[in-house]
Structure 1
Amino acid sequence: MTALTLKPAGTAGLRADAIVVGVAKGAASSKGLPVVAPGAEAVDQAFGSKLGAVLKSLGASGGEGEVTKLPSPDGLQAPVVIAVGLGAVPDKDAESGYGEETLRRAAGTAARALAGTKKAAFALPVEDAEQAGAVAEGAALGAYSFDAYKDNGKDGKDAKGPLGEALILVAKPRDKAFKAAIERATAVSEELNRSRDLINTPPNDLNPEAFAAVASAAAKEHGIKVQVLDEKALTKGGYGGILGVGAGSASAPRLVKLSYTHPKAKKSLAYVGKGITYDSGGISLKPAGHNETMKCDMSGAAAVFAAVVAASRLGLQVNVTGWLALAENMPSGSATRPGDVLKMYSGKTVEVLNTDAEGRLVLADAIAKASEDKPDAIVDVATLTGAMVLALGSRTFGVMANDDAFRTSVHEIAEESGEPSWPMPLPADLKKGMESTTADIANMGERMGGGLVAGLFLQEFVGEGITWAHLDIAGPAFNEQAPFGYTPKGGTGTAVRTLVRLAERTAAGDLG
């Protein structure tokens, strides 16, 4: 786990294993010479004010995500300089220089390059507390690694390990706003990384009971009330959706309620997470090539868990309840079959036409239960549909809602947090495809627009008069490609920062 420390901006005499500086793309008039960004003045001087020329001679351009390692010249205590590209130089009219996401990605890219380093100083262009927080967050997220199941030798000496400590260099380290930004970055990044650990844990070690145990332990540590409904309680309560999905597994399902409250809170939020700890597709078995990453199908529940704990650590003046709908979707003689009808917690009946459309079933029960508390808003998070991946790709999640203004707010908050999203509609005409001659509704509808159909299904279980949004994170929840910026390969922890920022904005009274 990377420690984040605020330090004065001077770099020349700073003792660290490496110093990270930013460089931007130079204008055509400068013949492509990389521009040394603010914060790197002392390092540039140590290179005789020719750092840009040195970098160009090594083929560097200052392009975003570009990393160049240099041995330090005389005058610097740190033996290594890491120059990370920031992309284009900000317009002169830009009020605060480089954008927060640009700095977050640059810090993350550098942190990945510094794996195994004990201490690194980040001298990136920071002009305000928000930018300092972005650098800190990017460094902590970029330094993440998941090595719990790797053989690094008996003594662990072969383990490269993540970056140990990141020193965030700013001009005003004693400023309360800067300190608060670093503390926030620490809490959010640590909980987001915890969600990544859960997503990356193999399903033979993370079944619903094990997930519930992890959530319970963290809740008790951070003063969060926790309630775990086991299979007996779920049966007694009539949670037909969760029980139906978990019926084919030897590991029984769970519904976990995490309640963070603040004595001065005026608003309440309910977060609902899909927690399918492994999704085989059930009787509607997934084809070969689609099973290997299905341990990530609990990413929504991991995000909700992390967000509630982060809200508690930050002491936000808002009540936040997290609902983790946990089940394992497996084929067996006891599994739910296509054609079966489930009676849901809400009382509605659902004809199951495809057992691989299971996420909406567990979410429906949890959303209906969450609605009983009459929160000001419900937000569910789920790796719900492949259709959303086809629509938006692997780095953007879809946002649907029963209120256009709320959908816009969630989308804007996600973008502000560095999590790409896109507002999606809920066309009423698609409801017709879910009509059933046997039950109140079917769990499948038209194939085209499948992601929207899933959203319409969930909307049926939202309590009357409650504002609701649905985040389909199927694309960005699990990165199967090469790492980029502060995003690792594997579990990403997407939606955690959106949920935390939403709670912050609600606490501040910025949302109606």
Structure 2
Amino acid sequence: MEFSIKSGSPEKQRSACVVAGVFDSRKLTLPAELLDKAANGYISDIIRRGDMEGKAGTTLLLHNVPGTLCDRVLLVGLGKEKDFREKEFGNAVRTAVKTLNETGAFDASIFLTELAVKKRSVAWRVRQTAIAALDATYKFDQFKSKKDEVRRPLRKLTLGVERRNELGLAEEALSQGIAIAEGMALAKTLGNLPPNICHPSYLAEQAQAMAAEFGLGCEILERADMEKLGMHSLLAVAHGSHQPPKLIVLSYQGGKAGDKPIVLVGKGVTFDTGGISLKPSAEMDEMKYDMCGAASVLGTIQAVARMALPINLTVVVPATENMPGGSASRPGDIVTSMSGQTIEILNTDAEGRLILCDALTYAERFEPDTVIDVATLTGACVVALGNIATGLFANKDALARELLDAGDEAHDRAWHMPLWDDYQELLKSPFADMGNIGGRWGGSITAACFLSRFTKKFEWAHLDIAGTAWKSGADKGATGRPVPLLTHYLLQRAGKLN
């Protein structure tokens, strides 16, 4: 979809459709009022007859509205004005774009971007509109022999801003929104791909292609490289699979040569059977999403490269399958991690932390400013937070606050969870330095405590996205989260968030 920014009155727009909002009950927004004034009360008369109340999620399409230069006017219900906030704004944009995609209009001018959202700037509204619009039109149908073709899909969307002096900031925000949305789309596609196609070697190939396209540094470590480095924790997870593991490293140099990089580490278990601690068969197909941490950090570095942010960013992806087999790790095995710490594997289905701990140790060589790992790590996090908020753990409260603020700005929210030393006691093992599980209670916290033992040399945060990385049911599919949170954090760090 092609986007543009324009400052002008809605009734003067020569487009296939103009979009304006209506609050519940029947209150026209300013752009809708301007359209109505040009039409001598035509729109307000229709609304008075009860054709539209303005309830959230509703639409009304009008053709040949007098006094306007557009072919159609699409009215979008916004709900109660006093309740109109970030979520309602995003939902209104999604509703508008999905409806436009079915009207046969090739282009449209959307004036929802002129709506006031409390404490949110014009740049925020423009950025979020681009993200929501591209999210609404995302499709994953490449494996269907008969695709559901949109008859005349929306090709161009013009975003309205009230004042001409806002055009510069709006243009920059639009570019950011498109880059973030494309990063989300990459993360969603990688997550949605079937595990017989998206395996560790495939992820490595995608990283190499991305490096070639965006001029990134790229290094792929093979099994032999990991053995030399002493990554026996990561390799223990890979033992049962015929697919070779990969450690993928991508680097973006947008900052000064001496600036310390921010490092993102993404869990890349491309399919998780649970290993010898086999998962139940119900919904095991969704374990292809166990690499959504990897997908999100790859989507993030792509977005950063597209935005050309003045920062240095490195992405590390430990990629493997977790399969049962004659050579698979067993409960009771003890392995030595790259850090030299020993781990008793009590449950082979707690494998994410086993690959992340070696990747976190590997991250030390970059002398990072900050390290953030992203992982579909624990079902316990889903129990705690559901599918609304990402679990956030950090060894520095200031870093946690920065990430929470970025999540609020992006409406990709996280919740700060405890990382107290009291929980470390649950990881005690009589035979090794630690066990890889801490018992039934507080499972997301003990998993984070496990990872914290490998992060003593840098500021670190852990995002548990087990509840937010994908949806089940009728809308099944990867969400692209937490690409918005991560990119907004990086925009903040780069001083480019308006």
Q: Which runs of 5+ in 1 are unaligned?
A: 26-32, 92-97, 484-488
Aligned match of 1:130: 124
Find 2:109's aligned residue among 121, 124, 137. Answer: 121
Task: Quickly say closer, same or farther: Cα 1:44–1:245, change in 2 above 3 A.
Answer: farther
Deviation at 1:224, TM superposition (A): 1.0
Choose which of 169, 182, 200 in structure 1 pairs with 2:192. Answer: 200
Aligned positions of 1:395-414 closer than 5 A? 395-414=388-407
Match of 2:454 in 1: 461
The secondary structure found in structure 1 opposite 2:366 is coil
Q: Residues 144 and 436 (structure 1 numbering): CA distance in 2 closer, same or farther, change over 3 Å?
A: same
Give secondary structure in 2 for the equivalent of 1:368: helix
SS of residue matched to 2:461: strand
Give the corresponding residue for 2:254.
Answer: 262
- In 2, Cα distance between the equivalents of 1:187 and 1:298? 21
1:368 corresponds to which residue?
A: 361
Residue 105 of structure 2 is aligned to residue 105 of structure 1: no
How many Å separate the matches in 2 of 1:199 and 1:11?
A: 40
Matched, 1:21 2:9: no
Distance 1:152 1:76, change over 3 A: farther
Distance 2:30 2:234 in 1: 54
Letter in 1 for 2:130: A
Residue number among 472, 485, 488 corresponding to 1:501 in the alignment: 488
**1: CA distance, partners of 2:47 / 2:454:** 58
Question: SS of the counterpart of 1:40?
Answer: helix
Q: CA deviation at 1:348?
A: 1.2
Question: 1:422 is paired with a residue of what secondary structure?
Answer: strand
Aligned counterpart, 1:216? 208
Q: Which residue of 2 aligns with 1:94?
A: none
**Does the 8 A contact of 1:145 with 1:161 survive in 2?**
no
- Which of 376, 386, 389 is the matching residue for 1:393? 386
Cα-to-partner distance string for 1:384-412 (whole Å, 9 max, x where unaligned): 11111111111211111111222122112
Matching residue of 1:81? 73
TM-score (norm 2): 0.91
Choose the corresponding residue for 1:431, options 419, 424, 427: 424
Aligned to 2:180: 188
C-alpha distance 56-276 of structure 1, shift in aligned 2 (>3 A): farther
TM superposition shift of 1:245: 1.2
Task: Tell me if the contact between 1:107 and 1:139 (Cα under 8 Å) persists in the aligned partners.
Answer: yes
Say whether the 8 Å CA contact 1:430–1:446 is kept in structure 2: no
Given that residues 260 and 320 in structure 1 are in contact (C-alpha distance below 8 angstroms), is that contact kept between their aligned partners in structure 2?
Answer: yes
Could you tell me which of 223, 228, 247 is aligned with 1:236?
228
User: Matched residues in 2 for 1:250 and 1:48: separation?
Assistant: 71
Residues 6 and 173, structure 1, Cα contact 8 Å, conserved in 2: no
Partner residue in 2 for 1:472: 464
Change over 3 Å in CA distance of 1:226–1:106 after alignment to 2: same
- Distance in 1 (CA, whole Å) between partners of 2:212 and 2:48 is 54
Residue type of the partner of 1:136? A
Q: Per the alignment, in what secondary structure is the counterpart of residue 10 of structure 2? A: coil
Counterparts of 2:145 and 2:163, CA distance in 1: 43
| Residue of structure 1 in register with 2:146 after alignment | 152
Whether 1:383 aligns to 2:376 is yes
- What letter corresponds to residue 373 of structure 2 in structure 1? D
CA 243–467 in structure 1, closer or farther in 2 if over 3 Å, else same: same
Q: Which residue of 2 aligns with 1:282?
A: 275
Report the equivalent of 1:357: 350
Larger deviation, residues 204-213 vs 343-352:
343-352
8 A Cα contact 2:42 2:65, kept in partner: no
Structure 1 residues 336 and 9: CA distance shift in structure 2, 3 A: farther
- 2:391 partner SS: strand
Q: Take 2:481 and 2:158, find their aligned partners in 1: how far apart are those partners?
A: 25
- Distance (whole Å) between structure 2 residues aligned to residue 177 and residue 39 of structure 1: 21
Whether contact under 8 Å (1:38, 1:125) holds in the other structure is no
CA distance in 2, matches of 1:161, 1:454: 49
Partner of 1:492: 479
Structure 1 residue aligned with 2:119: none
Name the CA shift for 1:509/1:438 in 2 (closer, same or farther; >3 Å).
Answer: farther
Higher helix share: 2
Cα distance change, pair 53–390 in 1 and its aligned pair in 2 (3 A): farther
Q: Which amino acid aligns with 1:143?
A: T
For residues 320 and 387 of structure 2, what CA distance do their matches in structure 1 show? 25
**Structure 1 residues 362 and 54: CA distance shift in structure 2, 3 A:** farther
2:137 corresponds to which residue?
A: 143
Give the AA of the match of 1:167.
T
Matched residues, percent identical?
A: 36
Distance 2:474 2:346 in 1: 36
- State the distance in 2 between where 1:69 and 1:337 align: 61
Closer, same or farther: CA 76–330 of 1 in aligned 2, 3 Å: farther
Question: What is the number of equivalent residue pairs in this alignment?
Answer: 487
Return the alpha-carbon distance in structure 2 between the equivalents of residues 218 and 161 of structure 1.
31
| Structure 1 residue 108: Cα displacement | 2.0
Q: Which runs of 5+ in 2 are unaligned?
A: 117-121
Residues 219/445 of structure 1: CA separation in 2 closer, same or farther (3 Å cut)? same
Distance in 1, matches of 2:390 and 2:398, equals 18
**Cα displacement (A) at 1:472:** 0.6
Cα distance in 2 for partners of 1:79, 1:198 equals 39
User: CA-to-partner distance for each residue in 1:243-290, whole Å, 9 max, x for gaps?
Assistant: 111221111111111111124374521111111111111111111223
Partners of 2:64 and 2:453 lie apart in 1 by 62
